[in-house]
Amino acid sequence: MTQLSAEEYVESLLTRDEQLEQVKEGIRSRSMPEISIAPGYGKLLTLLVKMTGAQRILEIGALGGYSGICLTRGLGDQGKLISLELKQEYADVAQQHLNEAGLGDKVEYRVGEALHHLQQLADEGQKFDVFFIDADKGNYPNYLEWAIKLANAGAIIMGDNALMHGRAMDPEQNGNAVTKMRQFNQSMASDPRLEGVVLPAYDGLAIARVR
């Protein structure tokens, strides 16, 4: 019998989540990229939102709404998620999935370039308690700077795919996205404005608290 990997083992401990499985099927049926976060990762997002008592969440990169559901599940009655998504068709699918999960009234999708919307959020004076970054890797350092600007004291910032399937650790890889991700990881771990760490799970999960 083949031994499970560490990630396979911990994932096997979780109960199947039918709502999230339906989201994955919805993504698959529309030929969207099947790159949603793993169930255990999603549960961690829900737990972190609950544990911090967050009421305002900003997500950068919606895809089909899988992570959006996980984040929103942790919110209280008055909580809200704002999700930035480049493509209208992805935002529409994500909204449908949040609606089906009974969470549609807690989310607002803003479609287009994330950097434009981040400036707009700053102009509106909006602040957030939790940030989840899972979008174009070459802009991760920019997204981090905006997250710090838009953060309430003690806010949590999370970045997905910090290891880029090993590319971030490979000295032979020096493309723009890899270089920017290394910059992001270094900032998450050592920027004096943050208390953070990069964990080698789920293709790298970077988590930091804004001081």
Nearest to 125 by CA among 99, 106, 152: 152
Q: With a cut of 80, say whether residue 1 has pLDDT above it.
A: no
Q: With a cut of 80, say whether residue 196 has pLDDT above it.
A: yes
pLDDT tens string 86-139: 999 999 999 999 999 999 999 999 999 999 999 999 999 999 999 999 999 999
How high is the pLDDT of residue 144? 98
Q: Under the phi-then-psi rule, with left for phi > 0, alpha for psi from -120 to 50, and beta for the rest, what region is 31? A: left
Nearest to 131 by CA among 200, 123, 140: 140
Q: Characterize 178-197 residue by residue with b for buried, 16 or more Cβ atoms within 10 angstroms of its Cβ, and e for exposed.
A: bebbbebbebbeebeebebe
Q: Which helix (H) or strand (E) holds 84?
A: strand 80-85
pTM of the complete model:
0.95
How high is the pLDDT of residue 2? 85
pLDDT tens string 132-168: 999 999 999 999 999 999 999 999 999 999 999 999 9
pLDDT tens string 54-72: 999 999 999 999 999 999 9
Q: What is the percent of the chain where pLDDT is above 70?
A: 100
Q: Which helix (H) or strand (E) holds 29?
A: helix 18-29
pLDDT tens string 3-40: 999 899 999 999 999 999 999 999 999 999 999 999 99
pLDDT averaged over the chain? Answer: 97
